[in-house]
Chains A and B, each alone.
Chain A
Amino acid sequence: MNLMTIIMKMAEGLEKTCAIFFLTLLFAIPLGMIVALLNGSKIKIVSWFAKVYISVLRGTPLMLQLIAVTYGPYYLFGVSVSRNKLIPVVIAFAINYAAYFAEIYRSGIESMPVGQYEAAQVLGYSKAQTFFKIILPQVIRRILPSITNEIVTLVKDTSMAFTVSYQEMFTIGKQIANSQTSFVPFIVAGVFYYVFNVLVGFVMGRVEKKMSYYKL
């Protein structure tokens, strides 16, 4: 198998890699916000629930979570493993990344000076208005570098889907490497991920620049 064929075959898996990547972000970003808000709740049981959630999902391997979400239903309830593994894979990634995002949001929210809340309160803003109009835009600006970090990690983590044999780019590469006893697919994978992350870095850099029209 020549290099070109290897690249073409692996590129076929890129679509699935991208599906994991974008769908995870789509679900984990808002889910993380919900967890962060629950974590900050004054109701003990609610914040306790969020803390356990974060603790468990950050404290156990993503690989284990992927296996648990994909095959767990079969072992627990005898439900057959769904053909389309994209669903369990995205669920596992989203709940895992939401835990990390939740902690990033918390750090951002807690770094806000209390004066911003007080100014909003005196001007009569409701709690929701204060959060969405005054606090959140500034929090996003503050946490963007940490978010970029997570996104870069996510790009590489998509390769973890090979543990449940989801046919994304790395899984295909690994199969080729095994059948051809070749190291080339791994180099190709490395280049793919690197280029992907250069793109991520470029886009996030643009976003950061766009948001830095004011100083904090």
Chain B
Amino acid sequence: MSILRMSNIQKSFGSNHVLKDISYNVDKGEVVSIIGPSGSGKSTLLRCSTFLETIDSGTITYDDKNAAEMKNGKCVYAKNLNDFRHIFGLVFQNFNLFPHYTVLKNMMDAPVSVMKRNKDEVREECLELLRKMGLEDKADSYPCELSGGQQQRVSIVRALAMNPEILFFDEPTSALDPELTGEVLKVIKQLAEEKMTMVIVTHEMSFARAVSDRVIFMDGGVIVEQGDPEEVFGNTQSERMKQFLQNYNNV
């Protein structure tokens, strides 16, 4: 079953046509990596999937319910978009933790004040998540007291605290130095093993190859190639993809 289905997505910023008729699905339990050069539209695609950008045309479907659809040639978003937001979580490149809240409050506040869940119950769940991530001693720390890797792990658990069905990652390790990248990738790998549905925009090629069920290669606002990671990385048919991967092999 597809959790997310996006069809014929068009998105322009002024005269800059960023997404050109993109369609993609994500099935339950699937890990999809989106790779491609800068400016290829992969981050925009993720931002459209999470409603941070509005699409110009196309349909977005979560759990077979339309979040955005075409009506009389115009793209119309559903009135209850916040109900859809509970389906997914998003991990940002720059973490975007709330600096004035402790780690625990960062995690607990949305479930309690947005989803109106029981505070003690949420606290227990959040502490359990922190234990799982080896961050239990950081519950009362403020984000500024943590390393970049720890901050990103906290932002992952903050997203998980909402019990999302699907988790998006927008270049989760791009703001981290290589030493800290590993601890974040380990967490994502662990989630993949637990069959968390995830879409990951990344520049970490070997990671994408190892962790994903499917790889999407984007360039110039279109999906150039997608499929099994071994196929895409090992035996690509596309010249553009070969050229792109060359840059990684050369270093």
A binding-site residues for B, Cβ under 8 Å: 113, 115-116, 118-119, 121-126, 129, 133-134, 137-138, 141, 213-216
Contacts and interface: CB of A to CB of B under 8 A. Distances in A.
A115 B114 contact: no
A214 B100 contact: yes
B233 interface: no
Contacts, number: 59
B125 to A, nearest CB: 15
Given A122-B85, A123-B110, 13 more contacts: A119-B92, A121-B51, A122-B50, A122-B88, A124-B82, A124-B85, A124-B86, A129-B114, A133-B109, A133-B113, A214-B100, A214-B144, A215-B142
Contact of B52 (A121, A124, A137): A121
A141 B88 CA distance: 31
A122 B113 contact: no
Q: Give 9 nearest A-B pairs by CB, closest first.
A: A215-B144, A119-B96, A115-B96, A123-B110, A124-B114, A214-B142, A124-B85, A122-B90, A214-B99
A216 B99 contact: yes
> Chain B interface secondary structure, helix, strand, loop or mixed?
loop
23 contacts: A115-B92, A118-B52, A118-B96, A119-B96, A119-B97, A121-B52, A122-B50, A122-B51, A122-B85, A122-B88, A123-B110, A123-B158, A124-B86, A124-B114, A124-B162, A129-B114, A137-B100, A213-B142, A214-B100, A214-B142, A214-B144, A215-B144, A216-B99
Given A214-B143, A215-B144, A141 B100 contact: yes
Contacts of A214: 99-100, 142-144
Nearest to B168: A122
Interface in B93-127: 94, 96-100, 109-110, 113-115
Contacts of A125: 110, 113-114
B149 interface: no
Given A115-B94, A133-B109, A122 B52 contact: yes
Contacts of A126: 82, 114
Interface string B63-106: 00000000000000000001001101110101011111000000
Contacts of A216: 99
A210 to B, nearest CB: 12
Interface string B133-152: 00000000011100000000
Interface residues of B, number: 26
A129 B114 CA distance: 9
> Chain A interface secondary structure, helix, strand, loop or mixed?
helix
Nearest to B141: A214
Contacts of B100: 137-138, 141, 214
B144 A124 contact: no
Nearest to A119: B96
A131 to B, nearest CB: 13
Most chain B CB inside 10 Å of its own CB: which residue of A116, A124, A134: A124
Nearest to B144: A215
B99 A215 contact: yes
Nearest to B113: A129
A125 to B, nearest CB: 6
Contact of B99 (A121, A124, A138): A138
Most chain B CB inside 10 Å of its own CB: which residue of A113, A116, A123, A216: A123
